[in-house]
A and B are shown apart, each in its own frame.
Chain A
């Protein structure tokens, strides 16, 4: 039973436009949510996180929004660039464990 779900396996966006990657979770005890970016044949790298007590966190072109009532978070990338093409993993931590639980990932392709 997946506690962290990324229901869109892939997303295609035009360069310069906004990319929105979505993530849903089931455990209301999660206290932190994180996004990682992964290129092929490389390890994931940390992108941005948000605490459950906040509803928005911004870092340059990347913004994460958290809707606790809906158990939903999203990552916005504005403007999207071809170098953003990668697999994005949503992860959540808490509920009595420090081990993050990962979603299955969304493959983002940004077309020039």
Chain B
């Protein structure tokens, strides 16, 4: 079955440590996205990528970094510069970057907790 796989589902980090969240899709989608969900804040866009080796900052990119070396993979690194990293992180992908409704398919999410 095609889909998006995020790992790990739960992650604990000590302050000052960088952590990387994995996101892999086998939907042959071109565009991939990272969102962050906080209670009462909805989904906020961190980074997005429409093609391999290209990505753009979203609304809250500070303290995060990404790479897009393969079409299937879009890992997110939460760096020590992110002041409040405890959150639920969602990876998504979509087939087309432009026309139509651009329906996103989401992964199951990764819960990061900073101790």
Contacts and interface: CB of A to CB of B under 8 A. Distances in A.
A100 B109 contact: no
B45 A99 contact: yes
Nearest to A105: B42
B42 A104 contact: yes
Interface string B71-115: 000000000000000001010100011101111111111010000
Size class of the B contact interface (CB-based, 8 Å): 20 to 34
A41 B111 contact: yes
A26 B88 CA distance: 27
A46 B102 contact: no
Nearest to A33: B101
A99 B85 CA distance: 23
Interface string B6-43: 10000000000000000000000001010100001111
Interface residues of A, number: 22
A61 to B, nearest CB: 19
Interface string A81-112: 00000000100010000111011110000000
Interface string B32-58: 010100001111110010000000001
Given A42-B109, A44-B90, A89-B43, A100 B104 contact: yes
Interface of B: 4, 6, 31, 33, 35, 40-45, 48, 58, 88, 90, 92, 96-98, 100-109, 111
